[in-house]
Structure 1
Amino acid sequence: MARRKTTTPLPDDFEERIVDIDVSSEMRTSFLEYAYSVIYQRALPDARDGLKPVQRRILYSMNEMGLRPDRGHVKSSRVVGEVMGKLHPHGDSPIYDALVRLAQPFSMRLPLIDGHGNFGSLDDMPAAMRYTEARLASAAMLMVQSIEEETVDFRPNYDGREVEPTVLPSAFPNLLVNGATGIAVGMATNMPPHNLGEVVAAARHLLKHPEASLDELMRFVPGPDLPTGGLVIGLDGIRDAYQSGRGTFRMRAKVAIEQVTPRRKGLVVTELPFNVGPERVVTKIRELVQSKKLAGISDLKDLTDRHKGLRLVIEIKNGFIPERILDELYRLTPMEETFGINNVALVDGQPRTLGLRELLQVYVDHRIDVVRRRSAYRKHKREERLHLVEGLIIALLNIDEVIQVIRASDDSAQARARLMEVFDLSETQAVYILDTPLRRLTRFDKLELDREKQTLTDEIAALAALLASETKLRAAVSKELADIAKSYGTPRRTILMESSGQPRSTPAVPLEVPDDPCRVMLSSTGLLARTAGAEPLSGIGDRSNHDVLISVVDSTVRGEIGVVTSHGRLIRVGVIDLPALPPSANPPSLSGGHPVSEYVTLAPGETVVGLGSLNPDGPGLALGTAQGVVKRVVPDYPANREDFEVITLKDGDHVVGVTELTSEDHDLVFITSDAQLLRFPATSVRPQGRPATGMAGIRLDAAAQVIWFGALDPALPSQVVTISGLATAIPGTQTGNAKVSDFADFPAKGRATGGVRAQRFLKGEDVLILAWAGPAPAKAVTDTGRPVDLPDEIGRRDGSGLRLTHPVSALGGALGTTASIPPPPAPDEDPTL
């Protein structure tokens, strides 16, 4: 049955309202509202208590939950749930991260949370919140002290059902003592921790001398005092930060030169720069030693434990000067770091950049206001109590009349009214007398009430005098700060050292180094190096060096080259950073090269397939993939990116070869795992932009894939080397049968065809395990660099091979074009592919 469409008629007085809004104005307004929300509600600390909103909510909620130092620990997840449900509806992860940082002694100079369990380290993440427990530390009680005495303002929470403090009373200058870090929209804060005793001394001096200068305050606070100790080099940047709110200083590890063994000296590291973990330093030192960028270190031991603390022992080789090695460690490793001070905090709800004096002044003003409000609250409460005590004394003096009035009254309201009329009492006094048990109306209680009245009178007078005098208020604040410094102050941990404040010089390209031509080479073992000139190269060295080159690219000393990976990425590498081979090494030996992994970061399963030039006027790159796709890349490489894709790969595909075309007359060559070879002119492939996926290069059977791709000059004598074997064998274990053919024996075919057979499989063979084509003579090596003799060239292209004496790892020729055994397939892949 068909349904009839009905519409509801609009009323006669309906008026359509369409409001025209300027998009740019709306976007500007919305962005500013968002930015202000991030700045005020999340990222920046308040200059008064030094806390971000999430930190303040954590401390306030834990205090309300009764998680004080004299109580037991509770699960951190319980605290996180309480904070998130009532005050901070922004997810549990930021709440727990903030709670963890408040408990870490290496992050906070005076931790505010007493954590129980794994709260992380400088190198490791903390355990999940369900495994850790927490309670307030003793110092945190100073932050919430007297919060119940109306010392700070409260505001509604996010849903209006609860209230939260806008700021904590903060009995010590938390912002300077513990520092802060945060990133907002368009601004950030980064403040180092300081010593509690020094900051309190400066605050007390400012209380006594409100016009104190920065130089006077810096006599008390000469510089940061980091939780991890170490050395601070250069005080000029610190003074700039204390003056303007911005500056930098350098942090160094604390190192001693000791006799670590009977025959060798060593460097013993006991303190590291702020936020630098020992594993990070150890990893960097090992990388430098393995890459031969740092000499003179024979051993490195991490003897850090929870009892002795940090202890890294760096053993120095005999014949090296420990002081010189230490200078290199400071220069090349995180044992020396730079800290950028950016004192941005909220003052009256607005972000401001504050110097040392302004930070202390904001805190002092806040603390004076807290003490004033606390004194006014206490005075009010004592006046209320005195009023009740005076009424109770009147009742005791006239106890018989009071009882008679109460007994003669019909109800409590009449009794209250008659007490007020007969004894001239206030309503509050009358109600209190009626609520007081008779057992308290004794002669002994009369004496206690007299003493309490006198005490209350004296306290009210003292509080009134305190509130009436600004000098006494400042003295009271100063005395409380002094008591806190005496109880919680600790000796300085960081040593301050005078210096010019200039950063250490870093390696740079010397001006006298000319931008000479050179060649960059990549070996089959992953070593990267450059030559001292542009002389012709051989693809393999002599019998003692055994270097086979995967790729060779012409460049200049100050230029850049690209490393092409199997994922289709091109990564920029500066040529000047590569080790230069001696001019006498021709044929070259890459034994002095550095691993390519030192210059590029690869994803899991990603490998380097070759090098390419970044010359925008060059011919561009040609790439071939395992699924038979070919692509010529237009050399329009972005200048402002360190890595970028040069081909968009299909799922399951990867690049197997890359070459730089030096002429349009070259042929592109594919060799597949089922022993098919296809050559076709490079002109049949049109250049494409970087995002393109390429075009069909060779037609593959279902169980085949491309194992080698390259470009050859048909005018030069070239050879084709193929090695057959069994697909199910473990890679690198089978010797295989090798065949060497003349490249001219393979006819050229059209692009996207199947090619011709390059080798006939013998019994027990079903796949090519290695293939290569390039200028003669072809050469081969094992995975240890040992040369392997190849058979002589045969006169036909589809013959079978001859058994080799050793498994071959890489093939190469006169110009460095090589092939290497591909990585084993993933467990879920067909091993024949």
Structure 2
Amino acid sequence: MKRSYLDYAMSVIVSRAIPDLRDGLKPVHRRILFAMHEAGNTHDKAYRKSARTVGDVIGKYHPHGDSAVYDALVRMAQDFSMRLPLLDGQGNFGSLDGDAPAAMRYTEVRMAKAAQGLLEDLDKDTVDFQDNYDGQDREPVVLPARFPNLLVNGAGGIAVGMATNIPPHNLGEVIDATVALIDDPELDTDALMQFVPAPDFPTGGVILGRSGARKAYSTGRGSVILRARIDERETESGGRPRIVVTEIPYQVNKSTLVEKIAELAREKKIEGLAHIQDESDRFGVRVVIDLKRDATRDVVLNQLYRFTQLQTSFGCNLLALNNGRPEQLDLKTMLSAFVAFREDVIARRTAHLLAKARERAHLLCGLAVAVENVDEVVATIRSSPDPQTARERLKERRWPAAEIAGYIRLVDDPAHRINEDGTYNLSDAQARAILDLRLQRLTAMGVKEIGDELEGLAEKITDYLDILRSRERILGIIRDELATIRADFATPRRSEIVEWEGDLDDEDLIEREDMVVTVTHGGYIKRTPLAEFRTQGRGGKGLAGMAMKEEDFVTRLFVANTHTPLLFFTTDGMVYKLKTWRLPLGGRNARGRYLKHVIEAIREEAGIAAIMPVDVPEDEWEKLQIVFATSEGDVRRNRLSDFTNVMRNGKIAMKFEPGSETRLIGARICDENDDVMLVTARGRAIRFPTTDVRVFAGRESTGVRGIRLAGGDMVVSMAVIRHFEATPEERAAYLKMRRAVAGSVEEAEEAPEAEEAEAVADIALPEGRYAEMSAAEDLILTVTERGMGKLSSSHDYPVRGRGGQGVAAMDRAMRGGPLAAAFPVEMDDQIMLVTNAGQSIRCPVSDISFRSRSAGGVKVFNTAGDEKVVSVAWIAEQGEDDGGEG
């Protein structure tokens, strides 16, 4: 009994109820498609009676009842059951109201065009075949599916001791995720959910939250909450509130739903319902619920969600046969297994085509020999008493092979290769082909046809061999075929995903924890728990930093809570928003992930202008402001709340004209007590209060002029520095004392400008005033393209109105070349300079001289020839401690 029961259970699991991971089909569905393929019942042919198809399936492949086969056939043709219907039915195939389909003798069916993607290349030895139930025919073990049908159309089934319930998904999204996984096999579930955020049901509806889908994709089990779609445009009719349902949840019987609502109204379980009418037609669902005049629409709607199937949950159970064994799967495993299956299919198809090409080329080589030696061949045949003798003589003779030697080697048949003396013996197949050769092939045109065909086969054989040697080419073919399927059959998402306050969102599952966010010059990003950076006593050795490429280095490092939103501003004027916990988690030694793989929507040509953590609740963003600057000298100020709602594909922060070379230079949080400083490539700098720029209401314009640029000039940096009120005399006196403290020596031509020189007197600031100005000072680092650099005081940059030409930020002669960068630093910082030749140098800020803003710099990087500095970045020391205690 035990053995018999286990045999029965496994038979149900493998042969009836559970779909195969590779093609997403149960045996009955696979046999229906194969029988229609064998009968030529394809999308480009006329419809045929469903009864004929059912008969073929039962008679040849599926020894079960006709009703079971017909029910499976009907479901494959229902557009409200399948996200991508595989059959095209004509007649009554049932409805959302639960109406049964007409009998199989009344309906007609043929394969849908999309089904061809499952059967393509079936005749090219791409999959294994097995005997049917009576051994009279052969059937495929699996179909060579070109797209992940298991996810696209889903599956449901109850076996013995297990069940499966896989929801349907959007074809375009699934293909995008598959291609992304091919490009980066290290993608995790969260990354794949950027492409496949949730199921996409054929009946549409609204999916509440993402946590259910995330759990299903991560563990193989989860529950997705689905609601009917309500037309918000129709809220009243004749003064009465109204609810109009235009889409119902997946697998909900509309007729039963309407009856249930009417029953609840009669029993007074839902107050306020006046009338319900099903106005659905062939164009779509429309259920109209009129309410009483004193009813509150939202209250009634919430009651309907609670007590009826206007809100349901779809229990996801991602169970499928993986290598013949039932297995609970996550999203990545399902896609990875499909890619591996397609690799095998492409390799087998290529090997089959290679064998066919070699077989044909082998015959053509023989025909080419006959054509080249036609007189001898004819003489040999004519002198032979019978065809068999002629065949043997053709095989025994050694024929010259110089003209086709390359083709013979390409065919690579071990039994028939060129002899040592350069001759060639024909095979039996070649001799037969020569004897069957028609005389018209011996004309000049026939000879050319043989040569051209042999040339074409040689190219194909070379290509097939290259494919079989290269996994990258196989993956490229898979990628191209998926793109073709997507272009032909992908449709927009039907099920809308909305955030839901009742949903236990990802953040609710993430513990609040401080993270160290690290960004490298090469564009890699990660987060590391702050606890991993233990505090060391003074004089400690520090901790090991992150492992990275030799030319890479950390340029940004800051601490942010896991729930802190991060704004990423790119040079093309876009902004992207990500919570800290969504960044890849890595230890101190981890390299992180490429930022453009974390935020897929960032254009490849765009750079990062600013990364901004905002550790303030979003409902308080209205109180904060942000200032932008462009390379053309424009500035704009906005409320930070303008960037509260940022979709996954980003949001326009500043709109540039099409084809414009203008780029976003920087974005900084500011308030009305700050100053904005812009520095240009030609050594001009302007400093003005943020209040000089009004707060803009929109995000379309580039703002107002911040600095007037000379021809060919451009802004290279923007900084927000502390505002400090001081008279020209105080600033001049402070700078004189400051340079004396710094020990700076300047040549006569590097002296301050005339207006500053007039203010310099033999005065000394009171000690308290000097300390006050020193505390408010920002050190400004300026570096030129030829590697000259200097430090100067922010007090050396006078506050002027915006829109002017600014003051000199470097010596007027610009002997160090155009400016590459200018930004505030601390004396104990370090910087990294990178040139266009790929050379880099690391330099402590303390090694750079302190000078006046109009002075020249000192040599920081000794550039050679036409080499120039293209990037100057502040270096963050990850994993090290400055020796301080606590």
TM over 0.5: yes
In structure 2, the partner of 1:179 is 154
Q: Tell me if structure 1 keeps the 8 A contact 2:440–2:446.
A: no
In structure 1, the partner of 2:300 is 325
C-alpha deviation, 1:264, in angstroms: 2.0
What does 1:274-313 align with in structure 2 at a 5 Å threshold? 274-306=250-282, 308-313=283-288
SS in 2 for 1:496: strand
In structure 1, the partner of 2:465 is 464
Equivalent residue in structure 1 for 2:176, among 191, 197, 201: 201
In structure 1, the partner of 2:214 is 239
C-alpha deviation, 1:498, in angstroms: 2.5
What CA deviation, in whole Å up to 9, does each residue of 1:701-722 have, x standing for no partner?
A: xxxxxxxxxxxxxxxxxxxxxx
Equivalent residue in structure 1 for 2:36, among 62, 80, 83: 62
What CA deviation, in whole Å up to 9, does each residue of 1:90-147 have, x standing for no partner?
A: 1111111110111110010000011111110122111111111111110111101000
In structure 2, the partner of 1:510 is none
C-alpha deviation, 1:500, in angstroms: 5.8
In structure 2, the partner of 1:447 is 448
Matched, 1:371 2:346: yes
C-alpha deviation, 1:265, in angstroms: 2.8
What CA deviation, in whole Å up to 9, does each residue of 1:547-591 have, x standing for no partner?
A: xxxxxxxxxxxxxxxxxxxxxxxxxxxxxxxxxxxxxxxxxxxxx
Q: Tell me if structure 1 keeps the 8 A contact 2:204–2:248.
A: yes
C-alpha deviation, 1:70, in angstroms: 0.9
SS in 1 for 2:237: coil
SS in 2 for 1:390: helix
C-alpha deviation, 1:36, in angstroms: 0.3
Q: Tell me if structure 1 keeps the 8 A contact 2:241–2:295.
A: no
- The alignment-based identity, stated in percent, is 50
Matched, 1:53 2:27: yes
Matched, 1:36 2:15: no
Structure 2 counterpart of 1:60, one-letter code: F
In structure 1, the partner of 2:64 is 90
CA RMSD after TM alignment: 1.4
Find the aligned partners of 1:406 and 1:353 in 2 and give their Cα distance: 68
Matched, 1:474 2:475: yes
In structure 2, the partner of 1:110 is 84
C-alpha deviation, 1:262, in angstroms: 2.7
What CA deviation, in whole Å up to 9, does each residue of 1:617-636 have, x standing for no partner?
A: xxxxxxxxxxxxxxxxxxxx
C-alpha deviation, 1:450, in angstroms: 1.5
What CA deviation, in whole Å up to 9, does each residue of 1:439-478 have, x standing for no partner?
A: 2221102112222111111111111011001111111111
Q: Tell me if structure 1 keeps the 8 A contact 2:170–2:199.
A: yes
Structure 1 counterpart of 2:32, one-letter code: I
What does 1:698-709 align with in structure 2 at a 5 Å threshold? none
**Segment drifting more, 392-401 vs 334-343:** 392-401
In structure 2, the partner of 1:491 is 492
Find the aligned partners of 1:337 and 1:417 in 2 and give their Cα distance: 78
In structure 2, the partner of 1:273 is 249
Matched, 1:161 2:162: no
Find the aligned partners of 1:427 and 1:366 in 2 and give their Cα distance: 38
SS in 2 for 1:313: strand
Equivalent residue in structure 2 for 1:225, among 200, 208, 211: 200
Matched, 1:410 2:385: yes
In structure 2, the partner of 1:264 is 240
Find the aligned partners of 2:244 and 2:30 in 1 and give their Cα distance: 40
Q: 1:501 to 1:68 in 2, by over 3 A?
A: farther
Q: Tell me if structure 2 keeps the 8 A contact 1:300–1:314.
A: yes
In structure 1, the partner of 2:696 is none
SS in 2 for 1:314: strand
What CA deviation, in whole Å up to 9, does each residue of 1:148-201 have, x standing for no partner?
A: 000000011111111110000001100000000000000000000000011001
Find the aligned partners of 2:243 and 2:443 in 1 and give their Cα distance: 79
Structure 1 counterpart of 2:474, one-letter code: L
Equivalent residue in structure 1 for 2:315, among 340, 344, 353: 340
What CA deviation, in whole Å up to 9, does each residue of 1:364-414 have, x standing for no partner?
A: 111111001001101111111111111111111222222221121122111
Structure 1 counterpart of 2:278, one-letter code: D
Find the aligned partners of 1:369 and 1:136 in 2 and give their Cα distance: 26
C-alpha deviation, 1:502, in angstroms: 5.2
Q: 1:353 to 1:119 in 2, by over 3 A?
A: same
In structure 2, the partner of 1:438 is 439
In structure 2, the partner of 1:400 is 375
What CA deviation, in whole Å up to 9, does each residue of 1:298-348 have, x standing for no partner?
A: 111111111x31111111111111111111111111111111000110011
SS in 2 for 1:149: coil
Find the aligned partners of 1:278 and 1:196 in 2 and give their Cα distance: 26
In structure 1, the partner of 2:828 is none
Give unpaired runs (5+ residues) of structure 2: 400-424, 505-886
Q: 1:460 to 1:326 in 2, by over 3 A?
A: same
What CA deviation, in whole Å up to 9, does each residue of 1:678-733 have, x standing for no partner?
A: xxxxxxxxxxxxxxxxxxxxxxxxxxxxxxxxxxxxxxxxxxxxxxxxxxxxxxxx
Find the aligned partners of 1:240 and 1:251 in 2 and give their Cα distance: 16
Give unpaired runs (5+ residues) of structure 1: 1-26, 504-833
Q: Tell me if structure 2 keeps the 8 A contact 1:228–1:271.
A: yes
Find the aligned partners of 1:114 and 1:41 in 2 and give their Cα distance: 25
Q: Tell me if structure 1 keeps the 8 A contact 2:241–2:296.
A: no
Q: Could you say which structure has the larger radius of gyration?
A: 1
Structure 1 counterpart of 2:439, one-letter code: L
What CA deviation, in whole Å up to 9, does each residue of 1:25-71 have, x standing for no partner?
A: xx211111110000001000000000000000000110000001111
Q: Tell me if structure 1 keeps the 8 A contact 2:208–2:503.
A: no
SS in 2 for 1:158: coil
What does 1:653-802 align with in structure 2 at a 5 Å threshold? none
C-alpha deviation, 1:277, in angstroms: 2.7
Task: Give me the TM-score of the superposition, normalised by structure 2.
Answer: 0.53
Q: Tell me if structure 1 keeps the 8 A contact 2:216–2:317.
A: yes
Find the aligned partners of 2:446 and 2:502 in 1 and give their Cα distance: 71
Q: Tell me if structure 1 keeps the 8 A contact 2:343–2:475.
A: yes
Runs of 4+ in structure 1 deviating by more than 6 angstroms, as ranges, are: none
C-alpha deviation, 1:259, in angstroms: 4.7
Matched, 1:72 2:46: yes
Find the aligned partners of 2:441 and 2:107 in 1 and give their Cα distance: 50
Structure 1 counterpart of 2:359, one-letter code: E
Find the aligned partners of 1:238 and 1:392 in 2 and give their Cα distance: 62
SS in 1 for 2:435: helix
Q: Tell me if structure 2 keeps the 8 A contact 1:45–1:52.
A: yes
In structure 1, the partner of 2:767 is none
Task: Give me the TM-score of the superposition, normalised by structure 1.
Answer: 0.56
In structure 1, the partner of 2:605 is none
What CA deviation, in whole Å up to 9, does each residue of 1:268-310 have, x standing for no partner?
A: 111000011321221011101111111212111111111x311
SS in 2 for 1:346: strand
SS in 1 for 2:240: coil
Q: Tell me if structure 2 keeps the 8 A contact 1:152–1:169.
A: yes
What CA deviation, in whole Å up to 9, does each residue of 1:504-561 have, x standing for no partner?
A: xxxxxxxxxxxxxxxxxxxxxxxxxxxxxxxxxxxxxxxxxxxxxxxxxxxxxxxxxx
Find the aligned partners of 1:442 and 1:390 in 2 and give their Cα distance: 17
Matched, 1:421 2:392: no
SS in 2 for 1:148: coil
Find the aligned partners of 1:443 and 1:180 in 2 and give their Cα distance: 60
Q: Tell me if structure 1 keeps the 8 A contact 2:127–2:142.
A: yes
Structure 1 counterpart of 2:360, one-letter code: R
C-alpha deviation, 1:230, in angstroms: 0.3
Structure 2 counterpart of 1:165, one-letter code: P
In structure 2, the partner of 1:626 is none
Structure 2 counterpart of 1:176, one-letter code: L
Q: 1:271 to 1:447 in 2, by over 3 A?
A: same
